[in-house]
Amino acid sequence: MKNTLKVQRAIKNLTQADLAEKAGVTRQTINSIELGKYVPTTVLSLKLAKVLGKPVEELFQLEKGD
């Protein structure tokens, strides 16, 4: 799964730590998601979308074979 989390976070001028705090996770979790090492749960995906003011589909996209 690919994501635009880093780009959307930068647009909102948020650090990984800022986004993590607002979503109730650690900075390391945000880093892992941005690097594609961790696929967030549905609940976390919805929280991130709400914080960033974007639809989930704009933040996360399935790749061929997902």
Domain locations in the chain as residue ranges: 2-61
Cα 51 from chain centroid (whole Å): 10
pLDDT band for position 8 (cuts 50, 70, 90): very high
Cα 24 from chain centroid (whole Å): 12
Radius of gyration of the chain (CA): 11
How buried is residue 38: exposed, middle or buried, by Cβ count under 10 Å (0-12/13-18/19+)?
middle
Which pLDDT score is estimated for 65?
82
> What predicted TM-score, i.e. pTM, was given to this entire model?
0.93
State the fold for domain 2-61.
434 Repressor (Amino-terminal Domain) (1.10.260)
Tell me the per-residue pLDDT of 43-60, one tens digit each, with 9 for 90 and over: 999 999 999 999 999 999
C-alpha to C-alpha distance for 6 and 21, rounded to whole angstroms: 15
CA atoms within 13 A on the CB side of 31: 4
